[in-house]
Structure 1
Amino acid sequence: MTEPTAAQPTAAAQQPAAPDYRDTVFLPETGFPMRAGLPQREPEWLARWERLGIYDRLRADAAGRAPFILHDGPPYANGHLHIGHALNKVLKDFIVRSRQMMGFDARYVPGWDCHGLPIEWKIEEQYRAAGRDKDAVDVVEFRQECRRFAQGWVDVQREEFKRLGITGKWDDPYLTMDHHAEAVIAGEFMKLLMNGSLYQGSKPVMWSPVEQTALAEAEVEYHDHTSHMIWVAFPVADVSDGPFLRQVPAQDPGNMGHDQAVSSRPGAREALRSARVVIWTTTPWTIPQNRAVAFGPDIAYGLYEVTGRPEQSMATIGATYLLADKLAAEVFGAARLEPGMYRRLRDVSADELGSLTLAHPYRGIEGGSGEWDFDVPLLPGDHVTDDAGTGFVHTAPSHGEDDYQLGLKYGLKMTHNVMPDGSYRADLPVFGGQAILTPDGKEGPANVSNIKALAGQGALLAKGKLKHSYPHSWRSKAPLIYRNTPQWFAAIDRPLADGMGEMGDTIRARALASIDRLVTWTPQTGRNRIHSMVENRPDWVLSRQRAWGVPLTCFTRKGARPDDADFLLRNETVNARILDAFEQEGADAWYRADFKARMLDGIAEPDDYEQVMDVLDVWFDSGSTHAFVLRDRADGAPDGIADLYLEGTDQHRGWFQSSLLQACATRGRAPYRGVLTHGFTLDEKGMKMSKSLGNTVAPQEVIDQYGADILRLWVAQSDYTVDLRIGKEILKGTADAYRRLRNTMRFMLGALDGFAEAERLDSAAMPELERWVLHRLAELDARVREGYAAYDFQGVFRAVFDFATTDLSAFWFDIRKDALYCDAPGSLRRRAVRTVMDALFHRLTLWLAPMLPFTAEDVWLSRFPSDDDSVHLHDFPATPAEWRNEALAAKWDGVRRARRVVTAALELKRADKTIGASLEAAPVVHVEDAALLAALRTVDFADVCITSGIGLTADPAPAEAFRLPDLPGIGVVFEQAEGGKCQRCWKILPDVGTHDHPATCGRCDGVLDGAERAVAGAEG
C-alpha cells in the first residue's frame, strides 16, 4: 500500500460525498529530517561527544574487559591531511569502534612522528628566505624552531582527524618529540650499543645530495628517470699464466672449436692481450671510482672483431672486444654496427677471463696526474648476468652494494671522491668540484664530462639515454646516489648478547621467526612481502647527518678504530645519566656545551672521547613507539604488544619493518600480533593523485560538500585491500546510497513513534513474516560480527545495506505499511511489526555506528533524546538464538520467488495504464510445484503481493499467462479486483459499503468502531 499523502486518490475518491478518513490512518511521525545536513550538523555532535567525554567514559565502563589495542602508526606532522590519511584513520576508527561495541576495551592512542628532515628542511627554507645562515644558529635554538613547527601541524592535523569522527585519546596523544619519548628512543638505541649490534662502518648507502644525508630504503621511492648509458671498453693490460693456461698441453690437438686448443695456439695469448673488455653503465660519474670489472663464471663469452663501421660509429676497425655471446649483437647495435661489420673469433673461457688484468680507461689521461694509472682486475662475480648490458660489470666499491661486497671479498680500495653535496672532491684530477647533482636536484656536469673524457681516451664504444625506474628521496623528490660514507649500523646478522634468544640470536632470525610464528598477516600476501624484504635486506643504516632528531647517544674513544674493542664507551651508569637528562630536558640536552663532561664525570676522561652528533633515522623513532606507548602508558597494552598495526602496503618496508627490527633487537620479538594493510588512493580513472595533474581529492573538500559520514561511507563501500578510486562521480554514488539508507532509518523511526513496552510481543506469537525478519536479523548478526572481526567492512556494509534496502524497504516495509497505517493499535499483527521494528532499530543503528558515527548518533537521539546518552556508549545487542529458523527461511524464499513473478506481471499492467496501483488487481497465480502452492496457501499471499485479492491454483497456466524465464512453473493471469474501494485503506473488496462507516472494508470499520469506543470511554 502507498501512503495516502503520497499519491492522488482515484476519481471515485475525489467525489464530494467520499468520506475523508485521512486523520484515522496511523501515518509515521518523526522529527528525523530527510535531508541530513551533515556538513553543518556534524560539528555539533563532535562538540557533544567532547562535552560528554565519550572516550574516557568508555574506558571507565570497560574496566575489566579484555583489551584490544590498535597501535597508531604515526603520521608525519608536516602539512594538511590528504585522502590517504583519511582512508587510514577511518579504517582504524571502524576497528576501534566495532571492537568496543563487541565487548572489548578498545583503546586508541593517536600519535605523531615529529622529527626528521622534512621539518628541518622547512625551517632551513625559512632561514634562507630571511637571509639567515643555519650554521650560525645555535643548534638548540634551531631544534626549538623545528619543535614549534611540528607542534603547530600536530594541532592542525588533530582537529582535521577529529572532524572525520575519529575516536581516541586526542587530549593526550603520543609525540615522538615528547621528553619521555625521546628518552625511550635513546634508551632503545643504547640497548643496541650494549648488546653488540651497533657498529660504525664505511660502505655505500643511499645518499641524497640535495638533503646531504643518508636515507633508509623506507625513505626511498622510485620514479621514472632518464639516465645516460654508456658502453666503455677497458683495454687488457696483461695476460698472466692463470690456472687454465698452465694446464694447456704444449701441442695443438687440432680441435679448433675447443677453448683449450685455441688458447694453446701460437698468438692466442697475444689476441687476448690486444682485446678490450666492454662494460655498460647508467652512471658515467662512477667511472673515476672504478676499481674492478666483474664477469659471470657461467656465462658464455666470445672474442669479437670489428671488420667495418659507419662514420657515426665509435668502434675501431680491427679492434677486438670481449662480450657475452647473448648480448653481443645488442652491444654492436648500440655502437651502430650492422651485422657483417663484426665477426666472432672464438670462445673465451672463465679461466681465460680470470687471467686478464685491465687498464683503467683513464690511464694516462691528460691532467690525470697518475690518479688512474693502476691495473683493474677482472674478477668473477655471482651477481653478473647476461640479461642486459654486456656480461661484464663495472665495479666501483664505494657506489653500489654488489660492488661493495665484491670489494670486501677481493680487498678492493674504497674511494672517497664524492662529497656530501654530490660533487667530486675539489682536488680530484680532471673532474674536481664538478657536481653529479645540483642543489636543486638537477643533473650536474659530471656525467657529460666523463662521457667526453672517455671519448677522448678512445674508450667510449657507444652512448645513449635510458628511461627507467630510479631511486628518489620521498621528501625532496630529487634523485639519489649510492655513496660511501662512515655511518652507524645495526648489524642484523650478528649474534646478540641479551638473553632473549627464543626467536633466534640475531635480529634477522628473530624477525623471520616472528613473521612466521607470531603474526597474523591480512591479507596473507603481506607475509610473503615482508618476509622477502627482511630475508634480503642489508644492515640497518641508523645515522643521519642532520640536527632535528634524537641523537645517537654514544661516545667513541679518540684514536681508536671502529673494530677496536674499546672504540665505543659501554657503561650502564652513563646510559642511565643520559636517560635521566632526556626525561628532564629532552634530547636538546645532548647539544648543551657541558653535556659530555656531565655524563662522563667520574666514569671516563671527557677529552678521551668524541661525542657522536649524528641523529637517528626517524624510522627508528617510529619503530620504538611500542616501547613508550604500548609498554609505558597506562592505557597501553598489558604485555606491551599490540593486537594490530594497520597501515598502507608501503609500510612493509617502512613502519611495519622498522618496528619489527627494532623490537626484535631490544625485546626479542615482533611488537604486534596482527598486521593489516590497505591500498593507495587513486582518481576515478585509476591514476595516481598528483597536484600537478589536478586530480587530488582533499578530505576537507568532501566534508564541506557532503559531510564526514559520506567520506567514511566511501571507505566502507570500498575494497581497501586494493587501490581505491575516488572522485566526484564516485562520491555522488556514495551520497545516493547514503540517502537510501537514511530513508530506511527514517521510515523505521516514524513507524516506532510512541512505541511502548506494553506493545512488545513475544516472537512465538508473531506472524510468520515477522518471524522471518527476525531470522534474517539473526543471520545478519552473525555476519556483522564475523565481518567486523575479520576487518571485512565492505562485507559488513553490503550485508546491512542490502538487507535494509532489499529485505526491508522493498519487501517487508512495503508489505507491512498497510498493517502499520490501518490496523488497530492493539492488533497482534501491528504489535508484531512494531516489536520487530524496535529490534531492527537497535541492531541497524548500532551495527552502522562504527562506520557512520554521526548519522547513528542522529538516529539514536531522534528516538531517545538525552543530555547524557550516546549511541557510542552502547554495545551491539545480543540476538536470541531462537530467532534462527532455517525451515521458515526456506519457505519464505519460495514465497518471495512467487511474489516476484506477480509483481513483475502487475508492473506491465501499470505501465500500459490498465491499473494505477497494485491494489486494483486480484490476479490468479498458477503454481506447478505442489509444495510451493501449499506454502502460499498458508500465508496471506494477497497482502504479500499488495493486491486486494489473489487466486492460487494448481491448474496449468494458460498461454497468455505472464511468466519469468528464470522462475519456471509459475504463471500469472491478470484479473481486476472486484468490489468497492475502501476510502481508508484503498483496498478494493466486495464488502466495502456494507458496514456502519461509509465506504470502508470490514477491517477499517472495526478499527474506526474501536477508536470511537476509546474516545467515548475517555470522555465518560
Structure 2
Amino acid sequence: MSEKPDYKDTVFLPKTDFPMKAGLPQKEPGILAQWQDEGLYQQVREARSGREKFILHDGPPYANGDMHIGHAMQRILKDMVVRSQTLLGKDAPFVPGWDCHGLPIEWKVEEKYRKKKKNKDEVPVKEFRAECRAYAQHWVDVQREQLKRLGLLGDWDNPYLTMDYYAEATIVSELMRFAEAGNLYRGAKPVMWSPVEKTALAEAEVEYEDITSTQIDVAFEITESRIEGLEGAHAVIWTTTPWTIPVNQALAYGEDIEYALFELEVADRFTDFDEDEATWTSRGRYLVAHDLGPHFLSRLPAHENGTVRLTAIWQCKGSDLAGTVARHPMHHLGGFYATPRPLLPGDFVTTDSGTGLVHMSPDHGEDDFDLCKAHGLNPVFAVMDDGRYRDDWPWLGGEDERRRAVINANFNAPDGPICSDLREAGALLSASADYAHSYPHSWRSKAKVIYRCTPQWFVPMDKPLSVTPAEAGVSPGHEQIPASAGMTLREIATQEIARVQFTPPKGRNRIGSMVEGRPDWVLSRQRAWGVPITLFVRPDGTYLQDPDVNARVIAAVREEGVDAWDEARKAEFLGDAHNPDDYEMVTDILDVWFDSGCTHVFTLESGRWPEQRWPADLYLEGSDQHRGWFQSSLLESCATRGRAPYDAILTHGFTMDAKGFKMSKSLGNTVDPNKVMEQYGADIIRLWALSVDFTEDHRIGDEILKGVGDQYRRLRNTFRYLLGALDGFVGDMGDAGEIPELERYVLALLADLDGKLRTAIEAYDFNTYTRLLVDFCNEDLSAFFFDIRKDSLYCDGPDSTKRNAYRTVLDLLFHALVRYAAPVLVYTAEEVWTTRYPDGGSVHLLEWPAVPGVTADGAKWARLRALRETVNEAIEPLRREKQIRSSNEADVVVPAAEVPEGFSDADLAELFITATVTRGDSDAVTVTRSAESKCGRCWRLLPDVEEDGDLCDRCDDVVGEVAAR
C-alpha cells in the first residue's frame, strides 16, 4: 500500500505574528512610551473637539505615599468612564489632581523632624512650608508615574495641584465669597481635636476603634430642690470620660423619664451572709432613673456578694426636677467649683445606659455646649491644645506630675488622679476599667481625639444664605439651578442630594443622613501647611468685608502662594482706608476639605483647562467620601453657587484581601499594584478591577489574579484567532440575504451584545460590561461559532461563498470587539489593533462600532445550542474510553422532537461537528463510531472517501484549484 500524501500545506490555517504569550510586563511600557511620544491624549481631544461633553472631575488623593491597590481600583474605574464615554463619541477630557495641603503632608514632614530630634516650632514657618511643598511634589511625581503605568488616559503633564499658586488664590477667593456674603462666623464650639497634632479635625479625618475605658458613677450633692426631701440626697451621673469631670458645669435630665430616689443600704454582716438576718445601714439617698436602678446597683462594689441593696423611696417625672441645684464634688476647692450646678432638661438624655442623668461639660460635648449655652453657662477652656489642663486650673493644673494628657489611660484609671480625688471627696460610687466601646482616633497619628471647645471659624448650616449662581463655563442643559434664595445651606444641600443621581442608590441616604445631622462646618485648623484664612478681625470678633482688600490678598497669593499672607504685608493689604492697628490677621489655615471642596472651581470653571466645563457630570470615589470630598464639594458649591458641582455620584467599596479581611501592613496582607504590574501587567489589574462588583467591598489575592489571568488568556486567544483567520482578508459578504443562517445568528448576538454594553456604560455597570464581553468571546465565539466554522476556514476554497461570509463576519467581529475591549484592556487592544493595522493610528481614537442590525430566531438557536451541548456530553465518554478521538468520528442519533425546524441532518452534522446526525424516536442521544473513512485533508469521515487518507470531493476540488494557481 502506497504512502498517502501530506496535505497540510494546502490547509488554510490562521497566520498571525500576534503571540499567544502576552508578556505584558515587558510590552506595556513600550506602548505607554509610544502614547506619550505621540501625544495620544491631545490626539483624542482633537478628534472629539466640538462633540457633546462628558466631564468626570477627579477627586484629589493625598500626595504622601506610593499608589496602593485602592488607588488602582479607583483610577481604573475613572479611566473606564472616560474611555467608554470617549468611545461613544463624546468629548471626555480628564484632568488628574492631587491634594497637597494639610495634616497628612505636614505630619510626614514632622516625622522627619522627630527622627532628627528637631522641633518643628523652631523652624521658620516659610522654611517649613517649603519642605511640605517639596515633599508633596515628590509624591505627586511618584504617584503620577505609577498611575500612568496603569494605562490611564488623562492630562498627566498638566494636572491640578491644590498647592499651585493659582489654586491657592482660587481657594482664598472662594473663602472671600463666603466672607463677603456673611456666610462665615467665628465662634467657640466643641470640635473634634487631636492633642497630638494640636488641631481641630474633620469627621473625615477620624476613624473609630474599639477600646476599653474606665466607667465611673459620681455623686453630686443636691443643695436646692422644690421636691421635699431631695436636698441632701445625691444625683448620680455615669461617664466613660472621667477627665471631663473637672470642667463640669451642670447636670441634665430627661423631662419624660421616670426618676426614683433610692436609699442605698449596706449589710453589717459578711460571714455566712443571710440577707434576712443582716442588719442594714443606710449609706445615703441617690437619684437615678427608675429603670436604671438595677444597673446602677450592679456597678457598685460588694454588689456581687449581696451586701448592698437599693430601695426606692419615691418616684417623679423628670420635669419635676426643674429648679433643682447640686454642687460639684470638688466644691471645697472654691472658685469655679463653688458655683452651683443646675439640673437642666435635655432632650438627648435617654435610659439606654448609665443613670439617666448626664453631667454637662460645655467645653467637651456638642449637647453639653448647646444646653449650657441656652442657660448662660459658657466654656472655660480649661484644656489646652496639647490635651493638658491649664497651668492656673484649680484642679489638676500646674506643672506637677499629676498634670498630664487627659486622654492618657492612666490619668483616667480607677487609681488615677481623677478617681483618687473623687474617692477622697466621697463622691466616687464606682469605678471600673472594663467598658468596651468605639472611640474616635486621628487617622494620621492614630491617637485618641477629644471634643474640645476652641475659637474656630464656621460656615453655618442653618442660617439663610446669600448665594450667587455661577454662569461661566456652564454647558447647555446645566443652566437651571434650583431656587435657593432664603434657604439654609442644609436645605440647599438636601435639595441637591434629592436631585443628584447616585450609583449605587444607597449613597443618597448615606450622604443625606450625614448632611441632615451634621453641625456647622468647621473651616479652621491650627497648623502651618495650608491655605490661610485670610481675614482681618476686629477686637469685637467681627471681620473686615472689603472687596478691595480681598482683591489685593488674592492677587498676592496668586503671585507668591500661601506665604504671601504675612504680618509684614498687613498695611499693604489693608491700604489707606483701614488702620492696621485696628485689626488682627488670622493665623489659622483652612480645613483641607475646603481646599478639595474648591477643586471644581479652579479645574472646571477657571478656563485654565478650556476643554472642561462646570458642573461635572460625575464624581467618582470610594464610599468614605460621602463624609469627605463629596460632602465638602457639595457644601462649598451650594453655599456659593446654589447647587451641587456634580450631577451624579458613583461610589465603590473597599478592596479586601483574598479572605475578605481589611488590608493592613501589620497583617502582611496588602497587595502592591506596582508589584502586580511587574508580575502580570497592568491589563490584568484592569480586568480584575472591572470584573468585580466594585459597588460593594471586593477581594484580591494571588488565586484571584490567577483566575483573572486565565480570563485574559481566553480573551487574548479570541483576538489571536481573529487576527490569524483574517490574514490577508479583503472582502465583503455582499447581499445580506446571502448570509448563511449561522452567520446571521452570530451577527444578531453581536447586535444584542452591542445594546447591552451601551446600557452597561450608561449605568456604570462595568462588571456586567466586562462579563458580557468575556462570555461572548468564550461561549458564543470560541466554543461555538469559531469551533463550527474552523472546517470551512481551514478547508473550503479561497473563493468559497461560505468561507468569505464567515471571514466577513469575523471582520465585523474584530472591529467591534477591539473597540469594546479598548476601555478595559487598553494595552492589549492597542497591540491587537496595530498588529492588523500598523499604520492605522491608535485604537483609542476609534469610536463605537457600527453593528449591522441583523435579527435571528434566538429561541430556535437556543434550542439548537442546548441540543448541541447534550450531544457533546454524550460523545465525551467515548472519547475518554478512546473509542473515538474527536467528534468528527461520531455518528449521532438525536431525538427528533428536540430538533428545531429549519435544520437538515447535514446542517446538524456541521453544527455538531460530527460525521453524521440522524433523528430517532428515542428521548436520548446515542453515539457510535462512524464506519466511514477519514479525509486526509479535512479529517472528516465521509462516504465519498474510499479509504483513510484519500480526499473527499470538496478537498479534492480545493487542492486542484490551489495547484492550478
**Where on the TM-score scale, by shorter chain, does this alignment land: which range?**
over 0.9
Do residues 840 (structure 1) and 807 (structure 2) align?
Answer: no
Is 1:146 aligned with 2:132?
Answer: yes
Deviates most, 778-787 or 731-740: 731-740
Q: Do 1:438 and 1:444's aligned partners in 2 also have CA atoms closer than 8 Å?
A: no
Residue of structure 2 in register with 1:515 after alignment: 497
Task: Determine the C-alpha separation between the residues in 2 that align with 1:637 and 1:790.
Answer: 24
Q: Is the 8 A contact 2:468 2:641 kept in 1?
A: no
Q: What RMSD in Å do the two structures reach over aligned CA positions?
A: 2.1
1:1012 alignment counterpart: 963
- What is the aligned counterpart of 1:675 among 641, 649, 671? 649
1:603 is paired with a residue of what secondary structure?
A: coil
Q: How far off its partner does 1:219 sit?
A: 1.3
SS of the equivalent of 2:338 reads coil
Match of 1:641 among 606, 615, 621: 615
Give the corresponding residue for 2:477: none
CA spacing shift, 1:436–1:390, aligned 2, 3 Å: farther
1:343-422 equivalences in 2 (<5 Å): 343-364=311-332, 368-422=333-387
Counterpart in the other structure of 2:421 = 453
Of the three residues 607, 615, 618, the one matched with 2:581 is 607
Matched with 1:876 is 848
Distance in 1 between the 2:561 and 2:358 partners? 49
Q: Tell me the TM-score normalized by structure 1.
A: 0.89
Q: Distance in 1 between matches of 2:738 and 2:402?
A: 85
CA-to-partner distance for each residue in 1:508-535, whole Å, 9 max, x for gaps?
1211111113x11111111111111111
Q: Does 1:288 align with 2:246?
A: yes
Deviations 1:681-703 (A, max 9, x none): 11111111111111111111111
Q: Which residue of 1 aligns with 2:508?
A: 527
Deviation (angstroms), 1:797: 0.7
CA distance in structure 2 between the aligned counterparts of 1:305 and 1:33, rounded to whole angstroms = 88
Distance across 2 between alignment mates of 1:65 and 1:877: 17
For residue 923 of structure 1, give the secondary structure of its aligned residue in structure 2.
strand
Residue 989 of structure 1 corresponds to which residue in structure 2? Answer: 942
Question: How much has 1:506 moved relative to structure 2?
Answer: 2.1
State which of 876, 884, 887 in structure 2 corresponds to 1:918.
887
Q: Which residue among 583, 586, 597 is the counterpart of 2:558?
A: 583
The answer to whether the aligner puts 1:814 opposite 2:770 as a matched pair is: no
Q: State the Cα distance separating 1:316 from its structure 2 match.
A: 8.4
Q: Select the residue among 97, 100, 114 that pairs with 2:100.
A: 114
Partner of 1:952: 919
Task: Specify which of 962, 967, 977 is matched with residue 930 of structure 2.
Answer: 977
Q: Could you tell me how far apart the structure 1 residues matched to 2:821 and 2:707 are?
A: 19
The 5-angstrom pairing of residues 653-664 of structure 1 reads 653-664=627-638
CA drift of 1:226 comes to: 2.0
2:497 alignment partner AA: I
Q: Contact 1:422–1:435 (CA<8 Å) still a contact in 2?
A: no
CA distance in structure 2 between the partners assigned to 1:554 and 1:335 by the alignment: 54
| Kept in 1: contact 2:905–2:917 (CA 8 A) | no
1:462-477 equivalent positions in 2, closer than 5 A: 462-464=430-432, 465-477=434-446
Distance 2:723 2:800 in 1: 20
Displacement of 1:720 after TM fit? 0.5
Q: Is residue 629–residue 636 contact of structure 1 (8 Å, CA) maintained in 2?
A: no
8 Å Cα contact 2:268-2:281 kept in structure 1: no
Following superposition, the deviation at residue 371 of structure 1 comes to 3.9
Against the structure 1 CA distance between its residues 939 and 675, is the aligned structure 2 distance closer, same or farther, given a 3 Å change threshold? farther
Q: Which amino acid counterpart does residue 354 of structure 2 have in structure 1? A: G
Q: Deviations over 1:589-625 (max 9, x none)?
A: 112x431111112120112111111100000000001
Q: Among 224, 230, 233, which residue is 1:275 paired with?
A: 233
Bigger mean CA deviation after superposition, 330-339 or 21-30: 330-339
Q: Deviations over 1:426-451 (max 9, x none)?
A: 12224115799978985463552111
**Preserved contact between residue 241 and residue 412 of structure 2 (Cα < 8 Å):** no
Alpha-carbon spacing, 1:442–1:1000, altered in 2? closer, same or farther (3 Å): farther
Aligned to 1:859: 832
For 1:829-850, what per-residue CA distance to the aligned partner results, in whole angstroms no more than 9, with x for missing partners? Answer: 1111111111111111110110
CA distance in 2, matches of 1:903, 1:231: 77
Residue pair 2:467, 2:484 contacting (<8 A) in 1 also: no
For residues 37-59 of structure 1, the C-alpha deviation after alignment (integer angstroms, 9 at most, x for no partner) is: 11111100100110111100111
Q: Is the 8 A contact 2:864 2:900 kept in 1?
A: no
* 3-state SS, counterpart of residue 105 of structure 1: coil
Residue 584 of structure 1 aligns with an amino acid whose one-letter code is: E
Matches within 5 A, 1:10-25: 17-25=3-11
2:266 is aligned with 1:308: yes
Deviation at 1:391, TM superposition (A): 0.7
Determine what percentage of the aligned residue pairs are the same residue.
52
Displacement of 1:274 in angstroms is: 2.9
Residues 398, 404 of structure 1: 8 Å contact kept: yes
Q: Which moved more, 1:334-343 or 1:526-535?
A: 334-343
Cα distance in 2, alignment partners of residues 682 and 638 from structure 1:
35
Report the AA paired with residue 910 of structure 1: R
Give the AA of the match of 2:496: S
- Of 897, 901, 907, the match for 1:940: 907
- Does the alignment pair 1:320 with 2:289? no
TM-score w.r.t. the length of structure 2 is 0.94
- AA of the residue aligned to 2:598: S
CA distance in 2: counterparts of 1:274 and 1:1007, whole angstroms: 115
Deviation at 1:310, TM superposition (A): 9.2
- The one of 547, 564, 574 equivalent to 1:572 is 547
Gaps of 5+ in 2: 271-279, 470-481
Decide whether the 8 Å contact of 1:775 with 1:884 is kept in 2: yes
Report the 3-state secondary structure (helix = DSSP H, G, I; strand = E; otherwise coil) of the residue aligned with 1:273.
coil
* Matching residue's letter, 1:666: T
Letter paired with 2:834: L
- 1:724, distance to aligned residue in structure 2 (A): 1.1
Residue deviations 1:423-477, cap 9 Å, x none?
0111222411579997898546355211111111111111222221111112111
**CA displacement at 1:305 relative to structure 2:** 1.6
What's the offset of the Cα at 1:370? 4.2
The 8 Å contact of residues 901 and 971 in structure 1, kept in 2 or not, is answered as no
- Quote the offset at 1:988 in angstroms: 1.1
Write the mapping of 1:497-516 to structure 2, written as runs, cut at 5 A. Answer: 497-498=466-467, 502-504=483-485, 505-516=487-498
Q: Establish whether residue 626 from structure 1 lines up as the match of residue 600 from structure 2.
A: yes
2:114 corresponds to = 128
* Deviation readout 1:273-300 (Å, 9 max, x if unpaired): 2321111111100001101111111112
For residues 145 and 16 of structure 1, do their structure 2 counterparts lie closer, same or farther at Cα, with a shift above 3 Å needed? farther
- Supply the distance in 1 between the matched residues of 2:738 and 2:263 (Cα, whole angstroms): 99
CA distance in 1, matches of 2:427, 2:35: 74
Deviates more, 1:490-499 or 1:734-743: 490-499
CA distance in 2, matches of 1:415, 1:906: 88
- SS of the equivalent of 1:431 reads coil
Q: What residue number does 1:708 align with?
A: 682
Question: Is the alpha carbon distance of 1:449 and 1:439 closer, same or farther for their aligned partners in structure 2, counting shifts above 3 Å?
Answer: closer
Paired with 2:256 and 2:563, the residues of 1 have a C-alpha distance of 56
For residues 797 and 440 of structure 1, do their structure 2 counterparts lie closer, same or farther at Cα, with a shift above 3 Å needed? farther
* Paired letter, 2:894: V
Relative to structure 1, the CA distance from residue 787 to residue 205 in structure 2 (aligned partners, 3 Å threshold; closer, same or farther) is same
Is the CA contact 2:249–2:361 (under 8 Å) kept in the aligned structure 1?
yes
Counterpart residue identity of residue 798, structure 1: R
Corresponding position of 2:473: none
User: 1:319 is aligned with what amino acid?
Assistant: G
The 1:316–1:299 alpha-carbon spacing in structure 2 relative to 1, beyond 3 Å, is farther
Report deviation, 1:137. Answer: 2.5
| CA deviation after TM superposition for structure 1 residue 363, in Å | 1.7
When the two structures are aligned, how many residues end up with a matched partner?
A: 937
